Amino acid sequence: MSAAVAGRLLRWYEGHGRSLPWRATREPYPVLVSEVMLQQTQAARVIPFFERFLGRFPDEAALAGAPTADVLAAWSGLGYNRRALALQRAARAIVAHGWPRSEAGLRALPGVGPYTAAAVASFAFDAQVPAVDTNTRRVIERLDGRRRAPAALRRRAAALLPAGRAAAFNHAVMDLGATVCTARAPRCAACPLRDACRSRGRAGDEAPTPRSPRMRFEDTDRYVRGRLVAALVRGDEPSVPGVASARLRRALDGLERDGLIVREADRVRLP
Ligand code: ADE
């Protein structure tokens, strides 16, 4: 992508980028909270959780010092509750040692993988690094008309970054992938990069990622685990109507292993 094309993308973002609450700040704490919430959850679903969570735990010290049960209560409903435990551990590390400002330092925090580290480094600390998530990967692969291994993709993304504009560029590519260059029905006519795109108009033709036959969500362990945590948050017994006791026990074992519940002689509770 030439500098001109990157410029077009940034101009498109100014007019078409999504206005999302975590983009109104460069403070590292809300940026980290948002990126952890966004790891497995779509932006629209994250918004109300993000706002409530920040109301309840406005900074890293509040989160670090809160009872873990309260953190899980605020997270419950968003799913993948282990993220909440990791986020609280990250807050405790930050309170103890200060904010790591580099991508590598952020990467060492609990629950922070390569994408999240790059996103926080660029959004909060203005590090000039690309944050490559699935949207970014799809946009770049279509633009270039080829696939790349992760390390090569990252180098390619880094080469595309306009000098000094990493944060805007990362948001822009992410939004283009989420709203125009979508996986299944790309809207090439609305794309600011169409003239430079090798897959223009053909992007939807690639073999769709095969979807494994979907299990009903109610049949997954994740469902049972989420329901159990929600029951404990409400102060109810750890049970889920209609779920057999062997399945419940397996889910409780998993929750205990992950530190999401504590089992005592006569009861189960949140940590
Ligand atoms: N997905 C991951 N990070 C995001 C962000 N900062 N904005 C929107 N969607 C995202």
Choice among 27, 35, 141, 256 that is catalytic? 35
Instruction: Verify whether ligand 1 is closer than 6 Å to residue 38 (CB atom).
Output: yes
- What's the whole-number average pLDDT of the chain? 92
Q: What mean pLDDT comes out for the span 85-95? A: 98
pLDDT at 1 over 60: no
pLDDT at 91 over 80: yes
Give the per-residue pLDDT at 167.
96
- Domains delineated in the chain: 27-125 (1.10.340.30), 217-269 (no CATH)
Give distance in angstroms: CA of 93 to centre of ligand 1.
Answer: 24
pLDDT at 25 over 90: yes
**Residue 35: active-site member:** yes
Give the per-residue pLDDT at 190.
95
Considering the entire predicted model, what is its pTM? 0.90
Q: What mean pLDDT comes out for the span 182-208? A: 84
Instruction: Verify whether ligand 1 is closer than 6 Å to residue 175 (CB atom).
Output: no
For residue 123, the ligand 1 atom closest to its alpha carbon is: 6
Give the per-residue pLDDT at 4.
79
Give the per-residue pLDDT at 271.
94
Instruction: Verify whether ligand 1 is closer than 6 Å to residue 118 (CB atom).
Output: no
Confidence category of residue 214, pLDDT binned at 50, 70, 90: confident
% of the chain beyond a pLDDT of 90: 84
Give the per-residue pLDDT at 207.
55
> Tell me: the pLDDT tens digits for 113-128?
999 999 999 999 999 9
> Tell me: the pLDDT tens digits for 130-141?
999 999 999 999
pLDDT at 204 over 80: no
Instruction: Verify whether ligand 1 is closer than 6 Å to residue 173 (CB atom).
Output: no
Among 9-18, 76-85, 194-203, 220-229, which is the least confidently predicted range? Answer: 194-203
Q: What mean pLDDT comes out for the span 155-178? A: 94
pLDDT at 104 over 80: yes
Confidence category of residue 202, pLDDT binned at 50, 70, 90: confident
Give the per-residue pLDDT at 219.
83
For residue 23, the ligand 1 atom closest to its alpha carbon is: 6
Give distance in angstroms: CA of 249 to centre of ligand 1.
Answer: 36
Instruction: Verify whether ligand 1 is closer than 6 Å to residue 119 (CB atom).
Output: yes
Confidence category of residue 61, pLDDT binned at 50, 70, 90: very high
3-state SS of the chain is: CCHHHHHHHHHHHHHHCCCCHHHHCCCHHHHHHHHHHCCCCCHHHHHHHHHHHHHHCCCHHHHHHCCHHHHHHHHCCCCCCHHHHHHHHHHHHHHHHCCCCCHHHHHCCCCCCHHHHHHHHHHHHCCCCCCCCHHHHHHHHHHHCCCCCHHHHHHHHHHHCCCCCHHHHHHHHHHHHHHCCCCCCCCHHHCCCHHHCCCCCCHHHCCCCCCCCCCCHHHCHHHHHHHHHHHHHHCCCCCCCCCCHHHHHHHHHHHHHCCCCEECCCCEECC
pLDDT at 77 over 70: yes
